[in-house]
Structure 1
């Protein structure tokens, strides 16, 4: 299959979808459109001081992955390893707007919208967790082929961290260094007995009911009230990012929610993955692939199991490189809540990559 990235073609994101009288009627009930999503994104990216360009990379069957590309401010020879950013659930490129200017200083940077999210095509996904994961990974590999990358540093946040791990397991020699930004889906789901001991009946009841619905069903179902309800209920996102970030979140998630449907098939009670990564790291992840993991000290993901860094390191063979970083007072969106600390940490990791100190560690330890 021949793939070529283009800067001019801007295809519809919604792709093919099953039609019914309700799906024909509901979109007109929701105050959203692809144009409004694009405008909400532009409003936030206008705060960048660096130039960027858009690419729409074909991944087959009429679908594209949209990505943002930034050239190095201080080009080097030979060129340094490019950096690829993958966002978390319910978001897209914009979630890294506080980091983009700082992370492309001396290397090319790519930030992409996962298929099914934001401004990439809303491709259909299977209904089984392993197949959904494989579909995401296959799309990412077709994107890589389309932009012509050989090796790169891969940084994924939350769901993007889970998928970055999965991609690295399948295509280990494409990833020079893996950076996990508060990754979702590492630890086992909590046992029912422990759930009953730790949490109230009210919380367990809410969790049980909520687990039957996709995360943004409640926003889509409230029609024209959706934007107001989202702003009222997720004021935390407005504080961590900025107020109009919620406009972007709204328009990203009330349109054809295929990425959300794919995530729903992979998750267990929202917080956990059906196929947690800690059981797979030791056997499926190349022991020579260096990994760095960044958590926020106040992150809900980190709080699920505060021994996760130790467990992750223990799951890797002796001699494998694992760098661990805990950002004080940071929540799940470390990159937005504590951008200065996050950017400094990532640049520190990139300096380790540039000096091959991570690979030297692996060779010295084996």
Structure 2
């Protein structure tokens, strides 16, 4: 009995369980794809590759991973060689100790350097780059540092652009201020570890909204944790975020100010992007991200190709309105002749 207790784990997750959860969430993909770990220095970057055509790299948001693109890869692989990676500190990629990092610049640099090293290892000289939420912030930082690598940049409901207003405390309710004293940006994921074996229950109880978004993709999955068909999105979220060290959360914490604003916002920095790079900004019609930054930037930057509002969508534009999301990517990144051909015959989409 003592031996069995000695082997008991509070956090019910492991690399093998995450790999299994990733495979399960990717089962809906019918296009043949390759999954491998790409070695970048001392790190491993989990990589998915599918399709053929111009390269398109997908960068996920906070707390996500390659599995969140499960509903998009089949379509995109018809038009691109699609690459999706887990950022360092998330999913199955390496989780280095970053306790010695102290600034937002250092956090940005680690992610930028790892993505650049990854692109060199897989032999990508130039590619289209799409980032969602935190992934949009990192994709913009990467493009500023390595414009020679990026053909076009698509920012899907990107976090981190707006500046914190001087009167921000006047806009925040007292209950939210009190809550924030106990809930920092990294806490929602750290709670999965704190709750240990009950972490998946926490996802079912607190993120039904996100699980519902994938229900049409996985209609047989249960929406509660006590069913015979466990929800694969909930399992994936849990195993992708329950392990330690909490590298991704720590890096994100360095990027943020209290109440969620970026410590080094991008609204002015993005203006330095090379003018040859087309930039498309997407926003969900019902998102919490501020649309106004896109309007302001389009007025000031000649290479803002479009500001697209994804209808009937919140922050998760890649799953809320898949058809408009996909068509917007094609318009943003395909060569004009190919784009004109596709949209002249909508049945080919």
TM-score normalised by length of structure 2 = 0.85
Superposition CA RMSD, Å? 2.1
Question: Alpha-carbon deviation of 1:39?
Answer: 1.1
Once residues 165 and 10 of structure 2 are traced to their aligned partners in structure 1, the CA distance between those partners, rounded to angstroms, is: 39
Are residues 1:64 and 2:44 paired? Answer: yes
Deviation readout 1:204-246 (Å, 9 max, x if unpaired): 2112321275331222111222111121011111111244211
Shift in alpha-carbon separation, 1:337–1:27, aligned structure 2, 3 A = farther
Are residues 1:245 and 2:236 paired? Answer: no
Matches within 5 A, 1:152-191: 152-191=127-166
Are residues 1:86 and 2:59 paired? Answer: yes
Once residues 270 and 98 of structure 1 are traced to their aligned partners in structure 2, the CA distance between those partners, rounded to angstroms, is: 31
2:35 alignment partner, SS class = strand
Match of 1:351 in 2: 334
Match of 1:10 in 2: none
Are residues 1:195 and 2:169 paired? Answer: yes
User: Tell me, which stretches of 5 or more residues in structure 2 are unaligned?
Assistant: 1-5, 216-230, 341-349
Query: Which of 210, 226, 230 is residue 203 of structure 2 equivalent to?
Result: 230
Match of 2:273 in 1: 285
Shift in alpha-carbon separation, 1:156–1:270, aligned structure 2, 3 A = farther
Match of 1:300 in 2: 288
1:326 alignment partner, SS class = strand
Question: Alpha-carbon deviation of 1:321?
Answer: 3.8
1:177 alignment partner, SS class = strand
Query: Which of 297, 313, 318 is residue 330 of structure 1 equivalent to?
Result: 313
1:215 alignment partner, SS class = helix
Question: Alpha-carbon deviation of 1:353?
Answer: 5.9
Shift in alpha-carbon separation, 1:29–1:143, aligned structure 2, 3 A = same
Once residues 350 and 262 of structure 1 are traced to their aligned partners in structure 2, the CA distance between those partners, rounded to angstroms, is: 30
1:83 alignment partner, SS class = strand
Question: Alpha-carbon deviation of 1:329?
Answer: 1.7
Once residues 135 and 26 of structure 1 are traced to their aligned partners in structure 2, the CA distance between those partners, rounded to angstroms, is: 35
Once residues 306 and 83 of structure 1 are traced to their aligned partners in structure 2, the CA distance between those partners, rounded to angstroms, is: 25
Question: Alpha-carbon deviation of 1:337?
Answer: 1.2
Match of 1:320 in 2: 303
Once residues 45 and 333 of structure 1 are traced to their aligned partners in structure 2, the CA distance between those partners, rounded to angstroms, is: 18
TM-score normalised by length of structure 1 = 0.82
Once residues 244 and 271 of structure 1 are traced to their aligned partners in structure 2, the CA distance between those partners, rounded to angstroms, is: 29
Match of 2:250 in 1: 261
Are residues 1:55 and 2:36 paired? Answer: yes
Q: Is the CA contact 1:288–1:321 (under 8 Å) kept in the aligned structure 2?
A: no
Match of 1:123 in 2: 96
